[in-house]
Amino acid sequence: MVFNVIGGLAWSVGVTTAGHYLGQVRFVRNHIEIAVLGLCCSICARSRSRSPLRRGKPAAA
């Protein structure tokens, strides 16, 4: 349980800190929607490639 709390705290502080510093970069600040769209597309493509239907297995009933 302690490791979960430490990990969650470290993750949230790390992401917040990274967002703060990346937000100061002019290109990132001006084109954040492109970065978010690319990230979403990447996640969707990865989840579709791992789908059981894509590997030739029938869907569970």
Q: What is the pLDDT of residues 1-33, one digit of tens each?
A: 999 999 999 999 999 999 899 889 898 888 888
> What is the pTM assigned to this prediction?
0.51
Check residue 50 and give its pLDDT. 72
CB 36 within 8 A of CB 44: no
Report the pLDDT averaged over residues 47-61.
65
Task: Please give the pLDDT value at position 6.
Answer: 96
- For residue 32, the model assigns a pLDDT of 86
